[in-house]
Structure 1
Amino acid sequence: MTNKWRQCCWGDIAVLEYGKALRGYENSAGRIPVFGTNGRIGSHDQALTRSSGVIIGRKGAYRGVHYCGEPFFVIDTAFYLRPKCDLDMRWAYYQLKTQDINAMDSGSAIPSTSRGSFYALNLRLPPLPIQKRIAHILGTLDDKIELNRRMNETLEAMARAIFKSWFVDFDPVHAKAAGRDTGLPKHIADLFPSEFQRSELGLIPKGWRVGKFPDQIDFLEGPGLRNWQYRETGVKFLNIRCIADGDLDMPRANSISETEFVSRYSHFALSEDDIVISTSGTLGRLAIVRQDHLPAMLNTSIIRMRGRGSLALGYLWNFLQSAYFLEEMFAAACGSVQLNFGPTHLNSIKLVMPPGHLVESFEQTAQPIIRQSLRNRRVIHAVGAYRDAILPKLLSGELAV
């Protein structure tokens, strides 16, 4: 019952402790996570705290709130929360997620969180058992999201490793040329040659060819819609903010009227399994369009990719993540303040093309991985939406536990 919840300020129940300066955390092999203002940034061999806790950004234009379920280290761009009373730290994390930390600016030249403003924040503090129940409910949902994210990391790393071995490093060809076992099943190993040939991109497997990007991949950039065209409902169009963590965050998309879409922009419509890539801001962010993202269309600063002929989704998805493509993209990008990359730059990119039957063999491995990854992303989206819907109700006491 909420009549047992206590009205108080954050300054009554917790202290913001300063992090400490630290060097070498980026490449450390330590097992202790290191946090800065925007989340985990490395590792260390010694913790600053003895248990789990909450990290709050101290410096920077965007200052996040993060939870760590084990002892951790905080550098001097962030605070960590030290409780002054019975306080479940994961509950505290969820409560602080409802606060606008970035509005608590100290007024210095570098945006910084004001401790005074933080301590003055009002909240309703439930008894510790209720804190724990709320944290358990929300934490279970977040744990499910994290499990699916880690599963995707493992699956996608497997597909990238196979792609790199077959189509970048040519490991099976090197093995056959040296008379070694490829380590592949015979029916797959037989698809690879045992010799190399010279090409404009260097030595490539015999019988393979060098193709031009536009001949292998169909691509299209969005039209550049204006604010006055935006509507509350209609057909959603992507912007670069929509591409995040390898997925599409459709609530960030704006809309145009369905009538205007049909009459002027239907050729920019997206389809299931299209790949979209950001071409300004953070270049090269990728996502695969799912059925639950549709209907949707492109806008400027995003290019839609579709494979031609035998170039299917698995090969294209992994090629666009390859070091070769990313290097070509950044080399061609231009802009004095912000790098930009457009369709004209793609015309100059060339790629090594294996025979179609070898691409098909790769798809037999890559496609199931991608399908499972997309299913996992749907789960992540659904669980995240449910968590976001019940979080304010749990923290206000509207939803009893």
Structure 2
Amino acid sequence: MTFRLPEDWKKVRLGTLMRLVRRRFEPNKDDIRPYVGLEHILPEKLRLATHGWSYEVESTKFEFKRGDILFGKLRPYFRKVIYAKFDGICSTDIWVIRPNKGVDGRFLFYRLASWEVVNVASKASSGTKMPRAQWDFLVNYEVPIPPLSEQKKIAEILGSLDDKIELNYEMNKTLETIAQAIFKHWFIDFGPFQDDLVYNEELDKEIPEGWEVAELGEILSLEYGKGLPKRERKPGNIPVYGSSGIVGWHNKALVKGPGIIVGRKGTAGSVIWSHTDFFPIDTTFYAVPRRINSMVFLYFELKRQNLPKLVADSAVPGLNRNIAYMNKTIIPPESLVKRFDDLATPLFKMMHVNSQEIRVLEQIRDSLLPKLLSGEIRVKVDVEEEFPKETKKLVEIKKEKARIRKTLLDYFEGA
């Protein structure tokens, strides 16, 4: 179905809205700046996973300013597009795009991040194995544009959803940091057990009396994931995990959650948590408990093992599970592991609820985005009326958050 363009809108070439910035940056140990590579941008999520630093790079990069749009031109179908919230430098496989005068920057970001534009950029890519979008082609593509005042309102609506998404991501980082701090205090620094430390000859350090030293392979096994090409995936709510995180969705799980995914190839040695049933593909392992049944404990223990270093020290690419199995670990008393599990599990449940809310908000944003950008829906949109199913889910999530929050408060007050 086609919609008539609103009277005060017009169709223009993308090139009239933006310009390409190619200010070069040469690595300089005295000039430290944040660095954004394609590996730092989450596919399809419109956000950064993290960033690096300029002292980690050796080749020429591009400078960008806060408010610029960073568009991954290599394999553009990954939709690696972000709105810069700080000044920095980026890979030369990323376009630095700056809005022209009279164009709202965040509106331009959503226009470029739309699947419409991403698909156009993908179709016009050159190169078979490493396809790159072509700027000269993209700038000639025509898109509908509202007046500046409406651009700002559209950006505000979509931006408010992204702000809520970002807040949930930050909350999840904080919750995991809390659980990790408790793990470190108890099982690495032995904070509560300083009076019971005894020298262990095998580790050449003091550990709490009665705690056992074992190999990693005694407390868990790393099982192979299974190949699942994109063409074979069917629509569903089961996350499909690669070594860098979620790479898609499917209608059937391979492993019952919650569980742990470990990167085997690609981002080898990565340790990823899944709150739900999941499907790990063949670039990963998944953890199966042996002597310790707490998945949360095993998650932090695997992160403590620094598995990426095993990969870096090996002449063969990828993580060898048999070598990982030989790493030393300490087995605390079962009662203490259970106590930690009882404390950390509600934190992880809250993270799960936050993740559910993130997915619903992303669905609303990605559904609203093309309708707002085409003029099909004007800015006075009633989200509850337009997305009743998603709104009901958000209400349920809010109630679940309140319940878990009460559980946490009761636990800490009673501790």
- Give the TM-score band, short-chain normalised: 0.7 to 0.9
Give the Cα separation in 2 of the matches to 1:13 and 1:85.
8
Match of 1:240 among 223, 239, 242: 242
Confirm or deny: 8 A CA contact 1:238 1:253 kept in the other structure.
Answer: yes
Q: Determine what percentage of the aligned residue pairs are the same residue.
A: 25
Confirm or deny: 8 A CA contact 2:65 2:84 kept in the other structure.
Answer: no
SS of the residue 2:137 aligns to: helix
The alignment status of 1:277 with 2:297, answered yes or no, reads: no
Structure 2 counterpart of 1:322: 304
Q: 1:26 to 1:54 in 2, by over 3 A?
A: farther
Structure 1 counterpart of 2:357: 379
Residues 347-379 of structure 1, C-alpha deviations (whole Å, 9 max, x = no match): 433311122233233334322322222222221
Match of 2:162 among 132, 142, 153: 142
Q: State the shift of 1:203 in Å.
A: 1.9
Confirm or deny: 8 A CA contact 1:63 1:102 kept in the other structure.
Answer: no
The alignment status of 1:313 with 2:286, answered yes or no, reads: no
The alignment status of 1:349 with 2:327, answered yes or no, reads: yes
TM-score (structure 1 length as normaliser): 0.73
Match of 2:17 among 5, 13, 18: 13
Match of 2:69 among 32, 54, 59: 54
Give the Cα separation in 2 of the matches to 1:217 and 1:25.
43
Q: 1:302 to 1:347 in 2, by over 3 A?
A: same
Q: 1:43 to 1:3 in 2, by over 3 A?
A: farther
Confirm or deny: 8 A CA contact 1:34 1:43 kept in the other structure.
Answer: yes
Give the Cα separation in 1 of the matches to 2:239 and 2:127.
37
Structure 2 counterpart of 1:265: none
Give the Cα separation in 1 of the matches to 2:203 and 2:331.
11
Structure 1 counterpart of 2:409: none
Supply the AA of the counterpart residue of 2:212.
Answer: R
1:2-401 alignment to 2 at 5 Å? 2-24=6-28, 28=32, 35=36, 40-42=51-53, 52-57=67-72, 64-69=80-85, 72-74=87-89, 77=92, 78-98=94-114, 99-100=117-118, 101=121, 105=125, 113-168=133-188, 170-172=189-191, 189=192, 191=193, 193-205=195-207, 206-224=209-227, 230=232, 232=234, 238=240, 240=242, 244=245, 248-249=246-247, 252-253=248-249, 269-291=254-276, 294=277, 296-328=278-310, 330-331=312-313, 335=316, 339-401=317-379
Supply the AA of the counterpart residue of 1:147.
Answer: L
Q: State the shift of 1:138 in Å.
A: 0.9
Q: Which ranges of structure 1 fall in alignment gaps of 5 or more residues?
A: 173-188, 257-267
Q: 1:239 to 1:325 in 2, by over 3 A?
A: closer
Structure 2 counterpart of 1:260: none
User: Please, what is the CA RMSD of the aligned residues?
Assistant: 3.8
Supply the AA of the counterpart residue of 1:203.
Answer: K
Supply the AA of the counterpart residue of 2:287.
Answer: M
Q: 1:319 to 1:326 in 2, by over 3 A?
A: farther
Q: 1:27 to 1:234 in 2, by over 3 A?
A: same
Residue correspondences, number: 352
Supply the AA of the counterpart residue of 2:214.
Answer: G
Supply the AA of the counterpart residue of 1:118.
Answer: L
Confirm or deny: 8 A CA contact 1:275 1:288 kept in the other structure.
Answer: yes
Give the Cα separation in 1 of the matches to 2:28 and 2:181.
28
